[in-house]
Every structure is written in structure tokens, then in C-alpha cells.
Chains A and B, each alone.
Chain A
Amino acid sequence: MRKYLIRRILIIIPVLFGVSIVIFALIHLAPGDPYSSMIDPNFTAEDRRNLLEAIGYYDPLPVKYVKWLGRAIQGDLGYSITYKEPVLSVILRNFKNTVVLSLTALALSVLMAVPIGVISATRKNTIFDYVVTVFSFIGISVPIFFLAMLLIKFLSFDLGLFPISGMQTIGSGYSGFMKFLDFVHHLMLPVIALALVQMAQLMRYTRSSMLEVIMQDYIRTARAKGLKERLVIYKHALRNALIPVVTVICISIGYLMSGAVLTETVFVWPGMGTLVYQSILNRDYPVVVSCALVMAFFILIANLIADILYAFIDPRIKYE
């Protein structure tokens, strides 16, 4: 087991390496450069050459990569071409916002989905179960940006319950507690959108996992022994059913951290998603590569934790 763990952790490094090479190559293959959209006729070709030379644009690709790698290993992720600011600070700023959004959405969806999924499993084929099933199917079938725009139209615009976009009410001069409440107010709609979709998936997964456990022999045995139904469900079945669910949650965290481009764009939430999208359009190479690495890193760690948890729980799985 330990050998497996160490191997998995060590492998993260070459995988990140691989990711960096692929992304680096891809983004530099994209035609255009950071200054190709500048149409000011006063901006001459000579000016453009100067600017591009300053960012090392004319170096051959392997040279560019090696230069970048050399600095990256030392912790210097470079300078954002768009923001003229260290890449690390740009990413940290946006990452913070994504974390708040994702974790809140995740917490909300877990809090709602798991109990509902469990209850649904125990009340299989009742109306409750049916409604939950249909709801969760709809949740995984609806395009999230469509849902987001519907929410904005009905809840924000028509009913005026929530602000339309952004992270705070600008120019309000709030501070302290009021500022926090204002922020929460702005957080709600994006969280609802994300949580609804997540919840759908989680509910189904919990339900099926729970169902699987309930069918097991040892549950039947417990019942046969005469144990109270409640005890059977909550003490035995639930614990075992939840483990696969936990691993799914872990994996979701990994993906959530990579930022939900569509949701963030519709709600103007300055997170990793919007950063990545803008940086690619602007050909801000250092930012794109660093973002990819950060996201890949989180996905890897999350998957690793999920696998570990799963291995702990299911002794049948042998890792060679």
C-alpha cells in the first residue's frame, strides 16, 4: 500500500511535466500573438517587432520552453503579458475567487444531495423517489449556462431578488460586515446554478451506491437478525454507501478548481475560468501555461486522494 502511495505521489511530477510540454506547445502553435489585435494605424511593424522581441517571441519553441522551465522550477512563473504583473499574483487572485465559489457550491450540493439520495434509495419507487430521479436527470441534462441565464432572467431581472452579476455592489462604500453580506448576496446565484447541476449528479450517485449496499448480503443478514430498520440503514448501509460518494466528491473538487468557464462568464465572476479564457484569447502564454499546471495539479491531487480513500475502504482492490 505504502509503495503504491509513494509511486502515485512521485508520478505527479512527470505528469505535470507532460502537461506543461503539451500546453506550452499547443498555445504557441496557435496563430497570432499578444499584439495581433492592435489595429491602431500608428502602431507600426517596427513597434510590433520591438514588443515581440521583448517577450522573447522569436526564440524557437524548444528554447522558449527551456527558458520557461528554468525559471519555473525556481518558482518564477513569469510575467503576465496582459497585466504586466507576476503570473503568480494574477493566478492567486483569481484562484481565491474560484475556491470560494466552488467550495460553497460543493458544500451546498453535498448537504442537500446526500440526504436526499439516501432517503430516495430507502424509499425506492415511491413518488418521492420518482420526483428525485426526474429532477436529477434534468439536472445532468441541462446546459449550465442555459440554467444560469434562466436564473438571471427570472430571479434577478424579473423578481429582483439577486444582483445580476459581479462579486460586489460597486461604489456602495460598504465595509466590514455589510461588505461581507453584500458579497454573500452576489455569491448566491452562481452558487445555486453550480450546486443544482452538481446536486443532480451527486443525488443519483448516492442513491445508486446506497441501493447497491442495501442489496448486499450482510444487510439482509442484519435485517434477518431483527435489527431495527433505522439502525440497519444508518449504521451499516450508510457508512459503506458513503465511501464511493466521498471519492466522487473528491474528484469533483479537482474539476471544480479548474474553474467553470461557462458559469463564471455568465455571472462575471473573476475566477480561474475567466482568466484562462481571456488569457488564451490574448495569447498571454505565461498565464495560460501556469493556469494549466495549477488546474492539473489539483485534479491529480484530488484523484489521488479519491483513490486512496477507495483503496482503504475496499479491501478487494489490490494495487500491484
Chain B
Amino acid sequence: MKKKLMLFSISFLLISGLGFAAGSKNVYRIGVFHSPTGVFHPAYATHSYDFYITRFVFETLLRYGPDGKLEPNLAKEWSASKDGTVFTFVLRDGIKFHDGTPLTAEDVKYSIEYVGFPDYKGARASFINAIKGVKEFKAGKTKDLKGIKVLDKNTIQITTEKTYSSGFLRFGINFEIFPKHIWEKVEVGKAQEATDLMRQPIGTGPFKMTEYVPDQYVTFTRFDDYWEGAPKLDKIILVKTNRDTAQAQLFRGEIDQIYPGSIRKTDADQFKAHGMVISGVPRNAYQYMTVNLTKKPFQDKRVRQAIAHALNRKGVVDNFLEGHGEVSHNPYPSTFWAHPEGMNEYKYSRDKALELFKTAGWNYDAGKNVMYLDGKPVRFQLKYSKGNVVREKCAVLFQQNLKDVGIKIDLKIMEFGVMYDEVKKSDYEIALVGQGSENDGDLSKFYYSDFIKPIGDNSGSNWIRYKNPEVDRLIDEGFRTLDQDKRQTLYRKIGLLLNEELPVIYIYHWPDNIVFTGKLKGRTIPPVAAYSYYYKANKWYFAD
């Protein structure tokens, strides 16, 4: 009995020890909080956890470089005609897919037009709507998309109906290139049932996916024929873990990287003490409070401005984000090229708030601490969703802040999908939401009045139902301008305008935080969140 115990304890300790040792082989392990679902096809992947794979195994024509600007990736040159309707990309030589087949412009054409096949049942059908011939192609009248032309084995040309200022962004970044010779053999309508093919993605990236164990991990092994040179690491593994234990696993060396979401100072201190690198990747996004613009009380700009003054937005950044983020006064963060100067900061001031409410005709009874509108005490319901700890705290804080100006707030926490649905239908009074913007500065989807649908219809992308002719005019100009300097001036103007009008009350910008082991070297992270996590992964190596 004693002997058995000894044997058992020894193997026990051995394994614990091995657990540590295993980490230092040439394998890099990334912890993620949601497991990829196995849809590893760029045209069909919808969950961001599947993007971890599709944006790594597959590559796009262009990518973001360390200065935040577009740089060559699969394409070595790119240009557009002066009127912004013809986009040409020239591919590099010698790019191979993971199965050894060379990449050609045929694959690029196929990858882009794929979402237009009549039987395509995925989420990206609208990505190609700007291309010439798309209506005929989707209706099945043409066999392929005429607006995309293969000029030679390395050159591809895309023609759009009208000036398309988002051309480089759309065609260069939004389409990952996958192999025609594999997917043309599968009937488009049945592609999602080809589970085996889906889960053995063949791309051009520096690592190929070699193992997928659902709900546990995904293994990527180096691709020696990668066009930029064979990677130095042997393997990269995506490990499913959960938020509570991931930090501990990081410290014990069981994993090498996590995306921790918001970081507190004590967390940051602990990370640094364990030799971790904290990288805050700027994200062109913002968290905001939306007040229903179709309801009378909120249609007065002064009311919205008053609310902005009443909320302790700086407190959120200082205390909930502990400095990992900044207060937001318009859609663009300070790290973005379209960020305007001279904005109104709507500093936290109860007095200023009360003043503005007064000018808007609201009556504050200081004795009872109640705000009255049209003789009735003001009371609103604030909807917000689960899953974002900082936002949940904001809801509670804002309830308190508004209580201080006599406004009663009822909190309603909901599942994200459900809340989002109601909010888009305009079935809400106040809500807390986060929003990302396009990297080319375009804000049309959210603020352009053309995209407004009637109340009760959840399909319009401008669901706050904001209508401002001046903003519309500026956005229209933006559609027609490819000149980057002109665009900067334009979008800065829009930013300033939105800062004054406050269609939504901007709360904060936040970086995407990546925390990883200091032992990893050779890594650069371009300042564009979501697209730069694997930048030049072939150059990464361990310092040992």
C-alpha cells in the first residue's frame, strides 16, 4: 500500500513538473474564452472565435502595417483609377497554398465572387454589392461575376458601378483568399455541410491548421513554404480556457497569451511582475449611451448634452478601465487619423447638467431631488447587456449619476442578442451599446439617414434613426473622395459635428488588450485591433 502511494505521488509530481516543462518547447499557446465552432471558411465564418482561425490560416490581399496604413500582403502592388471605379491588384510570385498548389488570380476572383453565387447562404452576400454585374450574377443570369477580371495569372481587376472610396479596404482586407481548386468541387448550396473540408482549411498563411478538437483546442503547425519565409515557431495552439482561470494559467506557464479584456492596475502589476508584455491595440470603436431619438424628450440636443455632463465618464475610464482607455467625445479615438481637434469634452458637472436641463424646459426640484418634465417625474428604463463587465458597471454608475440630477433610472439587463434586436426596432428608452467603425473612416452605416428604416423594423443599420442633412452631405462627399488628405478633412468635420450634436452620448474608447509572455520575441503589433493579432507570425520566436 505504501509503495503504491509512493509510486503514485512520484508520477503525480513528475506530471506537474512536465506540465511546466512542456511549455518551453517551440510551441506558442494562446488562451481564448470561447471555442471556435469549426466553421473555418472565410465566406461562412460568422463567430469572432472562428475568425481567429480564418484570419490566420487564410490571408488577404493587403494588410495593416506598423504605422496603421495598408501595406502589401498577397498583393505586392495595388492601384485605383482616378474616378475610383477600377481597382487593380498585382499578386506576388511564388505563393503556395498549404497543399502545395500555387496561388493565382483565379483564386482571388473565386474568393471574392463566391458570396454572390445564387445558392450561397452565408452572411457576406452584401460585401460585393458595389461591383459591376453583381445583380445579374446573384440572379443566376451570368456564370461568374463580370466585374472581376483576371488580367493574367498574377493580376486582378475589379470594376465598381460608382466611385467606391472604400475599395481598397473592402477588397484588400475584407476578403480572405481560399483555394478555387478545392471549393469549386463542392456545390455552393451544400458547402456548409462539407464539415470535413470546412475543418481542414487550406490557406496561404504561415501556419496550417493541423488539429481541431472542438471546445478544447486548435493546433497550427508551421508551413515551411510560406511566401515570406518559413516560420521560426513549430506550432501555435489556441486553447479554450475561461476568464477566471486564464490569468492563473498564464502565470503558471500553461499558456503564453490571453486577450484579457479590460485590465485593472493590480492586474497590470501582476502581469508585469510575471514578465508579461501588455499591448493595448487601438480599436476604432466606442461605447456609448443611446437615447431614443424618436421620443420627444430626447430630440432636444440640449437634453443630450445635459445628460453628457451628468455622467461621470472620466470616472469610468479612471476607475473601471484604470487608464486603459480614454473618454470619448465623438466616434473617433485619439489614435485614429480622423480624430478632430477642439471638441467639447462635456466635463462631469452636475451644475452644468442642471443648467442645460433647465434651458430645455425640464424642472428640477432641489428639495425633493426630482426632475420634472411636463409636470411628471422623469423616469427612464436603461437596457444593457450581459457579458461586458465594464459596461455593466457603467449602467450601475450612470443610474447613480442620473439619480443625482433627480432622474430615476430602472435597469434592465438582457441577453445581448435580445437587447440588440429590441434596440434596433427602436423599442427602448435608453441603452448602452458598443460600436465599431470602418477603418477607412466611413461612418455612413450608423449616421447616414438613407439607412433608416421605420420604427419596429430591425433591419436598418442607422437604427438610432439620426437625421442630419449636413452630416448626410459630408458623408456623400466622403463616398466620392479617394484622396486621403481630403478624406481626413471631411471626416474631422463630421467628428466635430457629431461632438456638438451628440446623437449618442459617447462614453469611452478602449484598446484591445493582448497580454503575452515576455519570452516571445520578434513580434510587432500594428495599431489596428482585430486585424493585427497574427501580423508576421512567421517572425515570432522564443528567446530561450
A–B contact (CB under 8 angstroms):
yes
A interface residue numbers (CB < 8 A to B): 31-33, 35-48, 50-51, 54, 79, 82-86, 90, 93-94, 149, 152, 156-157, 160-161, 163-174, 178, 181-182, 185, 265-266, 268, 270, 274-275, 281, 283
| Least Cβ–Cβ distance between A148 and chain B, in angstroms | 10
| A275 surroundings in chain B (CB, below 8 A) | 215
Q: Are B254 and A85 in contact, CB atoms less than 8 angstroms apart?
A: no
| A165 surroundings in chain B (CB, below 8 A) | 241-242, 245, 249
- Which residue of chain A is the closest to B458 with respect to CB atoms? A45
* A174 to B21 alpha-carbon distance, docked (Å): 12
* A189 to B152 alpha-carbon distance, docked (Å): 60
| A170 surroundings in chain B (CB, below 8 A) | 29, 216-217, 237, 239, 254-255
The yes or no answer to B214 lying at the interface (CB within 8 A) is yes
Given contacts A46-B125, A171-B237, contact A31 B421 (CB under 8 A): yes
Q: Are A182 and B15 in contact, CB atoms less than 8 angstroms apart?
A: yes
| B446 surroundings in chain A (CB, below 8 A) | 41
* A41 to B125 alpha-carbon distance, docked (Å): 13
- Which residue of chain B is the closest to A172 with respect to CB atoms? B22
Q: Are A84 and B417 in contact, CB atoms less than 8 angstroms apart?
A: no
Q: Are A164 and B239 in contact, CB atoms less than 8 angstroms apart?
A: no
| Least Cβ–Cβ distance between A164 and chain B, in angstroms | 4
| Least Cβ–Cβ distance between A84 and chain B, in angstroms | 5
| B25 surroundings in chain A (CB, below 8 A) | 171, 173
Q: Are B22 and A157 in contact, CB atoms less than 8 angstroms apart?
A: no
| Least Cβ–Cβ distance between A35 and chain B, in angstroms | 7
Given contacts A166-B241, A268-B245, contact A160 B252 (CB under 8 A): yes
Q: Are A83 and B415 in contact, CB atoms less than 8 angstroms apart?
A: no
Q: Are B195 and A84 in contact, CB atoms less than 8 angstroms apart?
A: yes
Q: Are A185 and B216 in contact, CB atoms less than 8 angstroms apart?
A: no
The yes or no answer to B18 lying at the interface (CB within 8 A) is yes
| A268 surroundings in chain B (CB, below 8 A) | 240-242, 245
5 closest A-B pairs by CB: A45-B459, A36-B417, A172-B22, A270-B215, A32-B417
* A190 to B88 alpha-carbon distance, docked (Å): 57
| Least Cβ–Cβ distance between A160 and chain B, in angstroms | 7
Which of B116-124, B484-492, B495-503 contacts the other chain?
B116-124
- Name B's interface SS: mixed
The yes or no answer to B309 lying at the interface (CB within 8 A) is no
The yes or no answer to B94 lying at the interface (CB within 8 A) is no
B interface residue numbers (CB < 8 A to A): 11-12, 15-16, 18-19, 22-23, 25, 27, 29, 35, 37-39, 44, 46-47, 121-127, 174, 192-193, 195, 198, 214-217, 219, 235, 237, 239-242, 244-245, 248-249, 252, 254-255, 415-418, 420-421, 435-436, 438, 445-446, 453, 458-461
Q: Are B421 and A152 in contact, CB atoms less than 8 angstroms apart?
A: no
> With contacts A160-B252, A178-B15, A268-B245 known, what are 17 further pairs, Cβ within 8 A?
A32-B421, A35-B46, A36-B418, A37-B420, A39-B420, A45-B459, A82-B47, A83-B37, A83-B39, A152-B244, A165-B245, A166-B240, A169-B22, A171-B237, A171-B239, A185-B19, A270-B214
Q: Are B19 and A274 in contact, CB atoms less than 8 angstroms apart?
A: no
* A33 to B29 alpha-carbon distance, docked (Å): 33
* A57 to B347 alpha-carbon distance, docked (Å): 47
| B245 surroundings in chain A (CB, below 8 A) | 152, 164-165, 266, 268
Q: What would 12 A/B residue contacts be, using CB atoms closer than 8 Å? A: A31-B418, A41-B438, A43-B124, A51-B123, A83-B37, A84-B198, A164-B245, A164-B252, A165-B242, A166-B241, A172-B19, A172-B22
Q: Are B193 and A84 in contact, CB atoms less than 8 angstroms apart?
A: yes
| Least Cβ–Cβ distance between A81 and chain B, in angstroms | 9
| A168 surroundings in chain B (CB, below 8 A) | 216
Q: Are B235 and A171 in contact, CB atoms less than 8 angstroms apart?
A: yes
Given contacts A181-B11, A182-B15, A268-B245, contact A47 B126 (CB under 8 A): yes
* A121 to B383 alpha-carbon distance, docked (Å): 56
Q: Are B126 and A283 in contact, CB atoms less than 8 angstroms apart?
A: no
| Least Cβ–Cβ distance between A98 and chain B, in angstroms | 12
Given contacts A170-B237, A171-B29, contact A164 B249 (CB under 8 A): yes
| B195 surroundings in chain A (CB, below 8 A) | 84-86
| B122 surroundings in chain A (CB, below 8 A) | 47, 51
Q: Are A157 and B248 in contact, CB atoms less than 8 angstroms apart?
A: yes
| A93 surroundings in chain B (CB, below 8 A) | 214-215
Q: Are B248 and A164 in contact, CB atoms less than 8 angstroms apart?
A: yes
* A149 to B438 alpha-carbon distance, docked (Å): 41
Q: Are B239 and A161 in contact, CB atoms less than 8 angstroms apart?
A: no
- Which residue of chain B is the closest to A161 with respect to CB atoms? B16
| B248 surroundings in chain A (CB, below 8 A) | 152, 156-157, 164
Contact of A171 among B15, B23, B420, B445 (CB under 8 A): B23
Q: Are B215 and A274 in contact, CB atoms less than 8 angstroms apart?
A: yes
Q: Are B215 and A185 in contact, CB atoms less than 8 angstroms apart?
A: no
Q: Are A82 and B37 in contact, CB atoms less than 8 angstroms apart?
A: yes
- Which residue of chain B is the closest to A43 with respect to CB atoms? B123
Which of B254, B421, B446 has the most chain A CB atoms inside 10 A of its CB? Answer: B254
Which of A94, A171, A265 has the most chain B CB atoms inside 10 A of its CB? Answer: A171
* A275 to B35 alpha-carbon distance, docked (Å): 11
| B415 surroundings in chain A (CB, below 8 A) | 32, 281
Which of A36, A45, A166 has the most chain B CB atoms inside 10 A of its CB? Answer: A166
Q: Are A84 and B418 in contact, CB atoms less than 8 angstroms apart?
A: no
- Which residue of chain A is the closest to B218 with respect to CB atoms? A170
* A188 to B12 alpha-carbon distance, docked (Å): 11
Q: Are A79 and B193 in contact, CB atoms less than 8 angstroms apart?
A: yes
| B418 surroundings in chain A (CB, below 8 A) | 31-32, 36
* A32 to B414 alpha-carbon distance, docked (Å): 11
